[in-house]
Structure 1
């Protein structure tokens, strides 16, 4: 059985929706359908019941799901063991991160790994949160760091490693500039620049204002880039609430005010597959606040406090 098809089957079995599975693994619906049909042809059984509007696993599909998950894990373990037995000391590690974390948080982690595990070659992949979760699930990513948390899932581990403070960003000369802090009452009449709904940064903004849903500030515009939002704040087009670690804040001519309202910090989490490889274990040990079972690192990111 082809591992690629098995991974696609596991994703479809988890979502019971071809279009959603295709979105998560960044494939077309037709490609996902073809892989499932090819797997069914190879096994000679139907894996999904398509008689109703929603997919459902057949008895054969349910049986395969357990075996497929273990086969994928075994293949990953075998690959690592064979490389080690062959004397190939070099190891490759692919770590995913949302843009801000990849730019402001992961460089310190990669540097610590380079000092302690120089044989590990690290690749950092930047993607949206949903794609990071999907990459860890299907093995495309060895681990991923993102804002927020991930609900418990079989085969996955997730740990909060830091809490990133949120800040209110206002144009130069704004009445709130120079304040030691701001909360919901201070920004009720302000114009805000935000990312699109569903984005991690938009969820932070909405959580920060959730305490008073009847007093929502005006949304002046939606943008795909946090850096662009900071640039627009600099030019006086509105305000923003973002993590303090956003790299664009470093050189921007804006006023940065600590957010003292609800949800004043956002969790920074790492997710990985259970039974991690030696390279993933090294990554976990290099994180600012190592998850259970890993060795805590000495360094702390200046904009991300360790979890309480």
Structure 2
């Protein structure tokens, strides 16, 4: 068993195709298929079910895949650590980001990092805060930028607080609230809302605030993208509550201060068990020494 065989297995599992896997690995399909067949013979089990229409993992393949990924990650870290020992930063930097983070200009930071460390392969994943904590713990991400309600903290990872921000009401320019300087949750509770999906970190902070005030509200539109959320608000389909630092970059909507608005905390998080040289270099470039982990 060797690392190349593991790379082939991971590629097939991720593409569901021997042809696409071979293209990704820059080998002919017959060579890839032969190596996987050799591995299956050595293991004494088939890793993939092959039909004329699709390829999928067997139970044995599903059991093998996580360990194969861990071996490849460990090999990659070993190469990166050796490079770091002689003053070079290589390997990968996998970053997670929620779109509403405003404490750090992520595109500019990634550009500066790429210019300084061109040998590092950078990837970026946009998603939800609650997913990123688990992905950093599991090693799928090296660093993530997220926002959480003040009632929560990232657990099981290294973390540093970046900023605290209050939510503001976001309404269409022609909405009756657009001319108000400030409003409270009771008044907002009479409106139709556009918000993130239930139980996501971005939604929880608002839900908790209304519940604490003994108020209910009508969330008629649930979306996963904050920019699309703002577009729906701009069309007058509902109102929203978003961090004030984020809404400053939006157009076509009006913001109103909320006297009893909830707050949220922006964090940068990283693995506290196996921080890579690239992750350390990225955090250092941002001027963020990595203190003891939170949680």
TM-score (norm 2): 0.64
The answer to whether the Cα contact below 8 Å between 1:188 and 1:216 also exists between their aligned partners in 2 is yes
Residues 1:34 and 2:60 are matched in the alignment: yes
Gaps of 5+ in 2: 7-55
SS in 1 for 2:220: strand
CA contact (8 A) 2:196 2:222 kept: yes
State how far apart, in whole Å, the 2-side matches of 1:272 and 1:125 are. Answer: 16
Cα displacement (A) at 1:95: 1.0
Once the two structures are superposed, residues 87-145 of structure 1 have per-residue CA deviations (whole angstroms, 9 ceiling, x without a partner) of 86544312111233399741243245356656645322223334423332222211111
2:143 match: 143
Rounded to whole Å, the distance in 2 between the matches of 1:181 and 1:288 is: 36
For residues 113 and 36 of structure 1, what CA distance do their matches in structure 2 show? 36
Partner of 2:178: 177
Are the counterparts in 1 of residues 103 and 162 from structure 2 also a CA contact under 8 Å?
no
Cα deviation, residue 273, structure 1: 3.7
CA distance in 2, matches of 1:287, 1:73: 25
Indicate if the aligned counterparts of 1:163 and 1:268 stay in contact, CA closer than 8 A. no
Partner residue of 2:217? 217
| TM-score of the two chains, using structure 1 as the length reference | 0.61
Q: Equivalents in 2 of 1:97, 1:269: separation in Å?
A: 9
Q: Secondary structure at the match of 1:113?
A: helix
Cα distance change on mapping 1:218 and 1:264 into 2, 3 Å: same
Residue of structure 1 in register with 2:275 after alignment: 276
- Once the two structures are superposed, the pairs formed by residues 84-95 of structure 1 within 5 Å of their partners are 84=84, 90-95=90-95
Residue equivalent to 2:192 = 191
Structure-1 separation of matches of 2:63 and 2:287:
45
Q: Aligned pair in 2 of structure 1 residues 182, 31: CA closer, same or farther (>3 Å)?
A: farther
Helix, strand or coil at the partner of 2:177 = coil
> Equivalent residue for 1:239?
239
Q: Is the 8 A contact 2:230 2:250 kept in 1?
A: no
Is 1:90–1:119's contact at 8 Å kept on the other side of the alignment?
yes
TM superposition shift of 1:283: 1.9
TM superposition shift of 1:255: 1.0
Count of matched residue positions in the alignment of Structure 1 and Structure 2: 239
Partner of 1:110: 110
Distance 1:286 1:172, change over 3 A: same
**Coordinate RMSD, CA, aligned:** 4.0
Q: Relative to 1, partners in 2 of residues 1:159 and 1:32: Cα closer, same or farther, differing over 3 Å?
A: farther
Shift of 1:188: 2.6
